[in-house]
A and B are shown apart, each in its own frame.
Chain A
Amino acid sequence: MTNRFRTASGGRIDRAAPLSFRFDGQTFSGFKGDTLASALIANGVHLVGRSFKYHRPRGFLSAGSDEPNALVNVARDAARAAPNLRATQVELYEGLKAQSQNRWPSLSFDAGAVNDLAAPFLPAGFYYKTFMWPAGAWKRFYEPKIRAMAGLGVAPDLPDPDRYTQNHAHCDVLVVGAGPAGLAAALAAAESGAKVILCDEQAELGGSLLSETTATIEGKPAADWLAATLATLTARDNVTLMPRTTAFGYFPHNHIALAERVTEHLAAPGPDLPRERLWEVRAKEVVIAAGALERPLVFPDNDRPGVLLADSARTYANRYGTKVGERAVIFTACDAGYRAALDLKAAGVSIAAIADLRAEVSGELPSRALAAGIDVRPSTVLVGTKGRLRVASAQLAKVTKGAVGPAETIACDSVLMSGGFTPSVHLFSQSRGKLVWDGAAGAYLPGTSVERERSAGACRGVNGLQRVLEDGYAQGEAAALAARTYTSPARGATPAPAAPSRSIPASAEDLGTDGFIGATPHGRNPAFTKAFVDWQNDVTAKDLKLATREGMRSIEHVKRYTTTGMATDQGKTSNMNALGIVSEALDTPVPKIGLTTFRPPFTPTTFGLFAGAARGDVFDPVRKTAIHDWAAEHGAAFEDVGNWKRAHYFPRAGEDMHAAVARECKAVRASVGMFDASTLGKIEVVGPDAAEFMNRMYTNAWAKLEPGRLRYGVMLREDGFVMDDGVVGRMAADRFHVTTTTGGAPRVLAHMEDYLQTEWPDLDVWLTSTTEQWSVIAVQGPKAREVIAPLIEGIDLSKEAFPHMSVREGTILGVPTRLFSVSFTGELGFEINVPSAYGRAVWEAVYAAGERFGITPYGTETMHVLRAEKGYIIVGQETDGTATPDDVNLGWAVGKAKKDFVGKRSLLRESMSAPDRRQLVGLKTTDPKIVLEEGAQIVADPAAPVPVPMLGFVTSSYHSAVLGRSIALAMVKGGRARIGTKLMVPMPTHAIEVEVVEPVFYDPKGERLNG
């Protein structure tokens, strides 16, 4: 296909570099430098989408990121499909494939368009008023239908293979927007030596300058000035230029998030490049130079393909060398319509007429239009358009004293509209700055700042090229100065906008500040016309009026009721007009109505950008012990415990988990086993007040614990419930080796630090996490002492010199060790702590030394069974944040005589000793083969009517190979008093009888502990 709608010459496209691309299966050609939108327009294509609700044919409205209509799916391959991209932002590359959306079977014939005929019955909020009958039909019938109609594009159904990276950057001045204001700001800041980042969402830096053909700056054509300025900035090593980079979020303390699109515009992206990069910028000062957005006019049938914003049409002509049509009618409320008319005329588009809402038409641009022979009609409105898939005519009518006269039809293939410009205050508002209504400008402008930021140029209502450049320069200079004298982020700092400090002579057409907000008069029955305010969501002026009629007075209510401004353009083209219409309907001035909140992101931002590299194995760190690889080599199955991988069991050939665990359990009880306990949390508590600190943090009394002794410690939350437990060794008068549960380690350290720093800053104590410092090898079983004895030096291992619950320092194979005599199995046991670097070597030596006793490595499952046989609890399994020490039979660990400890006061409450509290007991099923389900409930009468009163639940349950039967631990109301009685465990189909027993199933006297 030929580019019938190309201008003869000009524009920033590279006419020497033709590209071919496909849209809805048809092949077209364009040029390097085109967007998908400009290339389609060059080929005469305007019908590119269907609207959300009525499925009306839609064309391009704009040329930028504010585009609501032209949403397409771009797919490089099956896994690289992205829905809802704005064709106005998609850069053309060779072979690009795009598809239109939300239509069936085709774009030109869309069955969903019946909704347009049914539109009278589908006003704003219709779904709140109907679909209620019969009850239940909503979910089964109506909702699925509505869902199928709704939605825009199709979500990809294959995992995205592309990469996204995340980066941090710091700078003195971040400038957002590289139009004239932003360029001048960057220049000024850079010249004062500041480290500057300048970003812009577009492929080329330059903003509105990219569409200038006649403007001059400092005596040069704007394009030359732009090139020279970019060259200057590029040459400076204190400036980073970032095109294709959207500042999408403004977070507290000048933390600004940028999304950089790296490969989206490339025909063949290199595999080493990420698709997008997230930049988290911490800027000392920010200059927002985000420009202004042109407002559409709200008139009947303003949504046909071929109806565009005037300045966008001008951009298509001047920047992309593309004509939006052959014959245009212009509807304007400001001089932008004239500027577009003149430029389009120069590009070869005939201008059928300019309808100007204003009565007074004077000034330079209108005069030039008249001089050029254009039919200019003041006090004239468009009251409608015709044409099915493309606008074919416009109806113009004169407005006299508010009355709309008869309409005249003018044939055209495009309608260009301009309601003036809305300053882009999104980022300013996101920063929590206060917006103020400026009556003269007819716009909300930045007022009081909250962050260290200032706005420059059109986004703060400055207009005229020279004024914009000078304002940009002044704000850039002021920002650099503020960054130099920066101390700390100030709150409520509101720098008065800096006054121009340098003259930058420039000439360009001046558009003034005229404009219109609201719906233009049309004299037709408003109930039966559609004048669109929000194109994508199909919200019309009459929908907004209906909302106000129904009592929606807050703009937030109107927005939510009608969905205006909630489309993927987030109201960029619709919000101000909606405000105008509501203002008129409620007879309340605009500033009294208020604005809806601007929320991040500025434009839709890819999920992958936030997720970055975090997927699969690097989603979360994988923590492995020094012994991990040995376990893997010896066939261990692993389980995730927090971030840790722990050896779960060590199956031998042909063994399942049960067989392996049974063997491991028996080996420990009969001879000896070894277990990698390195994941236990460890905290070194050191200092003159260490014992006092321990006294306050744990329920136990520590003062009298001799150095060289261990004690089982219990830690409570403030509310008196068990938070963590672990064995603690007193290494010296002022030093404790504290262990915590595997999962609890960070929580416990944070809890300790919290108290130390906020409640007891007077205590002289240091806390150091040593979890990864030590490898911990537990050697458990009657032969444990014999296994380790030959390896240990400097410690007398005899029962008398080294009794149960002691700690000694010595060496093992020459490696320094803290040796604990401690058991979590009920057997004689030791835990060998060695520096992690030696963990595996020592483990292997112990394994070799144990070979003659058949030493058996075991995993967490066996550990669980062995401790359950002994009735030892696991915090988080027996306890659930509602158990007191006494509930889990740890009352003995509470130092009754202690003055205070965290949780003590809560323990004194009546409820904490109520007789029906759940208490830890053992359960034995009447049928010893049945292993109860963990989490199963316990009742007295399973046949009781629902709700069945519940007495408790099973916390741990295993088959015990050593005992030859199942065992379980449970928390049961008043459990200790029920020992010896029978209860039932109800399952969905049957109930299981159990006997309540003491929770210690094996060696109740504890005789085996001492070997």
Chain B
Amino acid sequence: MQKFSGFELFRRALGGHKSWQPQWRNPEPKAEYDVVIVGAGGHGLAAAYYLAKEHGITNVAVIERGWLGGGNTGRNTTIVRSNYLFDESAALYEHAVKLWEGLSQDINYNVMYSARGVLMLAHNHHDEISFKRHVHANRLNGVDNEWLTAEQVKEFCPPLNIKSMRYPIIGGALQRRGGTARHDAVAWGFARAADSRGVDIIQNCEVTGIRRGPSGAVEGVETSRGFIRAKKVGVSAAGHTSVVMAMAGLRMPLESFPLQALVSEPVKPAFPTVVMSNTIHAYISQSDKGEMVIGAGTDAYTSYSQRGALHITAHTLDAICELVPQFRRLRMLRNWGGIVDVTPDRSPIIAKTPVPGLYVNCGWGTGGFKATPGSGHVFAHTIAKDAPHAINAPFTLERFRDGFLIDEAAAAAVAH
């Protein structure tokens, strides 16, 4: 792998940047791999990277029906935080945040992890109790999160309107280590790092079937470019997980919804942090380029169409203009949607399945980007060892049958 650094950039500039090599190869699929990962989103690519790096398993293919990073990874609004309520979730997301903090150096790709702080606004007493419950639980779990009064909220994020509004802000919960990262860089960085360790990333190749042997165990995947043999298949297909898993005869406890986001035209720095209001349904941050990055909850109806309805966008912008009334004259530049896979308890599934050799990582819904390195790391462990890592052990498929839910949604009704 060619090293990336300021010095290399300088050196190669003198040669007109002619000597840069492809960041990843464009290989033909081999007949057989030790592990096939379905889906070259951030999660699938990270799993491949950690399989190679941590477990020495390099005969790995990541199979992607479109272009790598083109699913939710390349569509998301990149909020990263770990102040989740339950012990199981806090451990999982905190594992990810710790990896984020050194990721650029680890994979030698600037993923622009920017701990600008994630501030969640409380508008009523119920929000306040819920956030304080999080703050206390997080503290005891070693996760940073603090309660701010309305005045402290204003001080931390001066552009916010806190008073003259229908639901005035009464306080907020702030995770200072939270922030944003550059989504494409995450996909590309993991792709390049995995590729350099021998992983084949095969784009424009759709998995159309999962072949199982007489014992029921996985034998490989059928693809639009032919059959690829593998004893272990890890599915990381986000919004299309149900479709892929059905190929192995498994019905998943998932619903797929469109989730929209939008950006404004770029402006000079005007918003210092990430602000989320779940009560009035909107969140906002400003990208390095200067665009206000805005989103909210999912559309109401299940769909595989990567777009949503106008009234959701309109309502999101109502809320943004209520929170930051000086942004009413800004203009929307782009609006898009992705398909998110939602479990009944809004927590992910990272687990073995009833089919030997088949593993699944899904159910991240509206908030899986933040987990990318952590999820890839424990998913790789699960595949390599055929047993979950302690961190993902609670995130089984069976919990929906047995009732051991990790219901973050019920606990907080917070997305992302």
Q: Quick one: which of A157, A611, A720 contacts B317, CB cutoff 8 A?
A: A611
- Mark the stretch among B49-57, B215-223, B227-235, B330-338 that contacts chain A: B330-338
Please determine whether A619 and B142 come into contact, CB atoms closer than 8 angstroms.
no
Please determine whether A640 and B124 come into contact, CB atoms closer than 8 angstroms.
yes
Tell whether A751 is near chain B: CB-to-CB under 8 Å.
no
CB distance from A905 to the nearest CB of B (A): 10
B268 neighbours in A (Cβ, 8 Å)? 148, 151-155
Please determine whether A138 and B113 come into contact, CB atoms closer than 8 angstroms.
yes
Known contacts being A549-B20, A620-B166, A910-B402, is A607 close to B330, with CB within 8 Å?
yes
Q: Quick one: which of B334-361 are within 8 Å of A by CB?
A: 334-336, 344
Tell whether A881 is near chain B: CB-to-CB under 8 Å.
yes
Known contacts being A128-B109, A130-B4, A151-B289, is A619 close to B322, with CB within 8 Å?
yes
- Mark the stretch among A330-338, A477-485, A946-954 that contacts chain B: A946-954
Please determine whether A934 and B74 come into contact, CB atoms closer than 8 angstroms.
no
A528 vs B335: C-alpha distance when bound (angstroms):
36
A252 vs B287: C-alpha distance when bound (angstroms):
30
Tell whether A434 is near chain B: CB-to-CB under 8 Å.
no
A158 vs B264: C-alpha distance when bound (angstroms):
17
Tell whether B206 is near chain A: CB-to-CB under 8 Å.
no
CB distance from A351 to the nearest CB of B (A): 36
Known contacts being A616-B165, A619-B165, A719-B403, is A151 close to B269, with CB within 8 Å?
yes
Q: Quick one: which of B203, B269, B322, B336 contacts A148, CB cutoff 8 A?
A: B269
Tell whether B123 is near chain A: CB-to-CB under 8 Å.
yes
Please determine whether B344 and A719 come into contact, CB atoms closer than 8 angstroms.
yes
A81 vs B13: C-alpha distance when bound (angstroms):
41
CB distance from A712 to the nearest CB of B (A): 22
A877 vs B4: C-alpha distance when bound (angstroms):
52
Tell whether B114 is near chain A: CB-to-CB under 8 Å.
yes
A799 neighbours in B (Cβ, 8 Å)? none
Tell whether A556 is near chain B: CB-to-CB under 8 Å.
yes
Q: Quick one: which of A552, A563, A600, A639 contacts B124, CB cutoff 8 A?
A: A639
Tell whether A123 is near chain B: CB-to-CB under 8 Å.
yes
Q: Quick one: which of A854-908 are within 8 Å of B by CB?
A: 876-877, 880-882, 906
Tell whether B32 is near chain A: CB-to-CB under 8 Å.
no
Contact with A along B1-34 (1 / 0, CB 8 A): 0001110111001111110111111100000000
Residue of A nearest to B201 (CB): A551
Known contacts being A129-B9, A551-B23, is A147 close to B330, with CB within 8 Å?
no
Please determine whether B203 and A950 come into contact, CB atoms closer than 8 angstroms.
no
Please determine whether A911 and B404 come into contact, CB atoms closer than 8 angstroms.
yes
Q: Quick one: which of B120-172 are within 8 Å of A by CB?
A: 123-126, 128-137, 139-142, 159, 161, 164-167
B411 neighbours in A (Cβ, 8 Å)? 880-882
Please determine whether A152 and B267 come into contact, CB atoms closer than 8 angstroms.
yes
A836 vs B138: C-alpha distance when bound (angstroms):
46
Tell whether A464 is near chain B: CB-to-CB under 8 Å.
no
- Mark the stretch among B240-248, B306-314, B369-377, B381-389 that contacts chain A: B306-314
Please determine whether A568 and B410 come into contact, CB atoms closer than 8 angstroms.
no
CB distance from A269 to the nearest CB of B (A): 14
Please determine whether B112 and A143 come into contact, CB atoms closer than 8 angstroms.
yes
CB distance from A167 to the nearest CB of B (A): 13
Please determine whether B140 and A986 come into contact, CB atoms closer than 8 angstroms.
yes
CB distance from A169 to the nearest CB of B (A): 14
CB distance from B319 to the nearest CB of A (A): 8
B20 neighbours in A (Cβ, 8 Å)? 546, 549-550
Scoring B133, B189, B320 by chain A CB atoms within 10 A of each residue's CB, the highest score goes to B133
A851 vs B179: C-alpha distance when bound (angstroms):
58
Please determine whether A950 and B164 come into contact, CB atoms closer than 8 angstroms.
no
Please determine whether A610 and B332 come into contact, CB atoms closer than 8 angstroms.
yes
Interface residues on B, range: 35 or more
A542 neighbours in B (Cβ, 8 Å)? 16-17
Q: Quick one: which of A541-555 are within 8 Å of B by CB?
A: 542, 546, 549-554
Tell whether A576 is near chain B: CB-to-CB under 8 Å.
no
Please determine whether B328 and A251 come into contact, CB atoms closer than 8 angstroms.
no
A606 vs B265: C-alpha distance when bound (angstroms):
10
Q: Quick one: which of A905-923 are within 8 Å of B by CB?
A: 906, 909-912
Known contacts being A123-B13, A128-B109, A150-B288, is A877 close to B166, with CB within 8 Å?
no
- Mark the stretch among A373-381, A455-463, A728-736, A935-943 that contacts chain B: A935-943
Scoring B70, B327, B336 by chain A CB atoms within 10 A of each residue's CB, the highest score goes to B327
Please determine whether B328 and A611 come into contact, CB atoms closer than 8 angstroms.
yes
A939 vs B140: C-alpha distance when bound (angstroms):
10
Tell whether A515 is near chain B: CB-to-CB under 8 Å.
no
A542 vs B316: C-alpha distance when bound (angstroms):
39
Residue of B nearest to A557 (CB): B67
Tally A-B pairs: CB < 8 A.
339
CB distance from B289 to the nearest CB of A (A): 5
Tell whether A791 is near chain B: CB-to-CB under 8 Å.
no
Residue of A nearest to B6 (CB): A130
> What is the total number of residues of chain A having a CB less than 8 Å from a CB of chain B?
115
Q: Quick one: which of B137, B288, B328 contacts A606, CB cutoff 8 A?
A: B328
A947 neighbours in B (Cβ, 8 Å)? 87, 90-91, 140-142
Please determine whether A155 and B318 come into contact, CB atoms closer than 8 angstroms.
no
A193 neighbours in B (Cβ, 8 Å)? none
Please determine whether B110 and A128 come into contact, CB atoms closer than 8 angstroms.
yes
Q: Quick one: which of A83, A132, A151, A955 contacts B105, CB cutoff 8 A?
A: A132
Residue of B nearest to A553 (CB): B26
Scoring B135, B331, B332 by chain A CB atoms within 10 A of each residue's CB, the highest score goes to B331
Residue of A nearest to B164 (CB): A616
A129 neighbours in B (Cβ, 8 Å)? 4-6, 8-9, 109-110
Please determine whether B140 and A946 come into contact, CB atoms closer than 8 angstroms.
yes
Contact with B along A555-581 (1 / 0, CB 8 A): 011001101000010100000000000
B313 neighbours in A (Cβ, 8 Å)? 610
A151 vs B268: C-alpha distance when bound (angstroms):
4
A551 vs B136: C-alpha distance when bound (angstroms):
47
Please determine whether B402 and A911 come into contact, CB atoms closer than 8 angstroms.
yes
A280 neighbours in B (Cβ, 8 Å)? 310
Known contacts being A156-B326, A610-B318, A620-B166, is A138 close to B114, with CB within 8 Å?
yes
Known contacts being A132-B108, A639-B125, is A152 close to B266, with CB within 8 Å?
yes
A466 vs B127: C-alpha distance when bound (angstroms):
65
Residue of B nearest to A152 (CB): B266
A527 neighbours in B (Cβ, 8 Å)? 15-18
A139 vs B180: C-alpha distance when bound (angstroms):
11
Please determine whether A127 and B112 come into contact, CB atoms closer than 8 angstroms.
yes
Contact with B along A138-149 (1 / 0, CB 8 A): 110001001110
Tell whether B364 is near chain A: CB-to-CB under 8 Å.
no
Task: List 13 contacting pairs A-B, 8 Å CB cutoff, sorted by A.
Answer: A121-B10, A127-B110, A151-B266, A156-B329, A159-B326, A249-B335, A432-B305, A527-B15, A568-B266, A601-B332, A614-B321, A950-B140, A955-B129
Extra inter-chain contacts (13) besides given A252-B305, A527-B18, A639-B125, CB under 8 Å: A83-B329, A127-B112, A129-B110, A138-B110, A139-B113, A139-B179, A147-B290, A156-B329, A604-B331, A610-B317, A721-B407, A877-B129, A986-B140
Question: When A and B form their complex, which 5 residue pairs have the shortest distance between CB atoms, in order from nearest?
Answer: A881-B410, A527-B16, A551-B22, A151-B290, A935-B132
Give A contacts to B, CB under 8 Å. Answer: 52, 80-84, 120-121, 123, 126-133, 135, 138-139, 143, 146-148, 150-160, 162, 164, 166, 249, 251-252, 255, 257, 278, 280, 432, 525-528, 542, 546, 549-554, 556-557, 560-561, 563, 568, 570, 597, 599-601, 604-608, 610-612, 614-620, 622, 639-641, 719-721, 876-877, 880-882, 906, 909-912, 933-937, 939, 946-948, 950, 953, 955, 986, 988
Give B contacts to A, CB under 8 Å. Answer: 4-6, 8-10, 13-18, 20-26, 66-70, 74, 87, 90-91, 102, 104-105, 108-110, 112-116, 123-126, 128-137, 139-142, 159, 161, 164-167, 179, 182, 184-185, 188-189, 203, 264-270, 280, 286, 288-290, 305, 307, 309-310, 313-314, 316-318, 320-322, 325-336, 344, 401-405, 407, 409-411
